[in-house]
């Protein structure tokens, strides 16, 4: 669904192409966030019968409402004054974290949803910057060379298209004078 390259250089031949690419990625991320939110909701409903009286489940159920609105654990914890805590006990194995509990699955779903919402925010800011660039009317003979990291354009180099550059260098100017015979 999403591009697998995390860092790339891409050429866009118009701001509209760049904007369309950003809008497409925003739509993909929103779809993925919705998919994960549904997965999380189903998992929590499933776990409710066995874990509803446990403290971790009560706090996760409250957090789920914020996750659906586009917020995350960090935003909720900022409001409540708590620091981010893990729900489950994780074991490190050569740099990889492992867990075999229901809390672990809930935690990774929250983490994924939170990261996806951050990407949507970043892409929305880039889209606003592109809208601003369009109002500047930079011209149609520009190539936008974008440094894209984790699906978000970080830097853009403006370069003239080769054809227009050559036409400026090799213009032919001549003056003719004619003698009028009388």
Per the model's pLDDT, the better-predicted residue between 117 and 100 turns out to be: 117
Question: Quick one: pLDDT at residue 3?
Answer: 53
In this predicted model, what pLDDT tens digit does every residue of 51-86 receive, in sequence order? 666 666 666 655 665 555 555 555 444 444 444 556
Question: Quick one: pLDDT at residue 137?
Answer: 82
What is the pLDDT averaged over residues 78-106? 74
What percent of the chain is predicted at pLDDT more than 90?
40
What percent of the chain is predicted at pLDDT more than 70?
66
* Partners of 149 in beta bridges: 7, 152
Q: Does the global pTM surpass 0.75?
A: no
Q: Domain map of the chain by residue range?
A: 7-169
With b meaning 16 or more CB within 10 Å and e meaning fewer, what string describes 101-132? ebbbbbbbbbebbbebbebbebbeebbeebee
pLDDT at residue 171 is higher than 70: no
Mean pLDDT for the chain? Answer: 79
pLDDT at residue 33 is higher than 60: yes
In this predicted model, what pLDDT tens digit does every residue of 2-28 receive, in sequence order? 556 689 999 999 999 999 999 999 999
Question: Quick one: pLDDT at residue 76?
Answer: 44
pLDDT at residue 124 is higher than 60: yes
């Amino acid at each position: 669904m999403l591009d697998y390259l995390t860092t790339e250089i891409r050429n866009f031949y118009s701001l509209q192409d760049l904007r369309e690419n950003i809008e497409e990625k925003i739509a993909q991320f929103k779809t993925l966030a919705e998919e994960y939110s549904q997965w999380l909701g189903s998992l929590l409903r499933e776990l409710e019968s066995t874990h509803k009286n446990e403290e971790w489940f009560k706090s996760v159920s409250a957090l789920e409402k914020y996750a659906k609105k586009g917020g995350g654990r960090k935003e909720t914890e900022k409001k409540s004054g708590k620091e981010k805590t893990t729900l489950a006990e994780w074991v490190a194995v050569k740099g990889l974290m492992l867990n075999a509990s229901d809390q672990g699955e809930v935690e990774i779903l929250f983490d994924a949803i939170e990261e996806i919402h951050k990407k949507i925010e970043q892409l929305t800011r880039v889209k606003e910057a592109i809208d601003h660039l369009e109002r500047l009317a930079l011209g149609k003979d520009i190539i936008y060379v974008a440094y894209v990291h984790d699906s978000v354009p970080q830097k853009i180099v403006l370069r003239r298209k080769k054809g227009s550059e050559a036409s400026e260098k090799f213009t032919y100017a001549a003056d003719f004078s004619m003698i009028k015979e009388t």
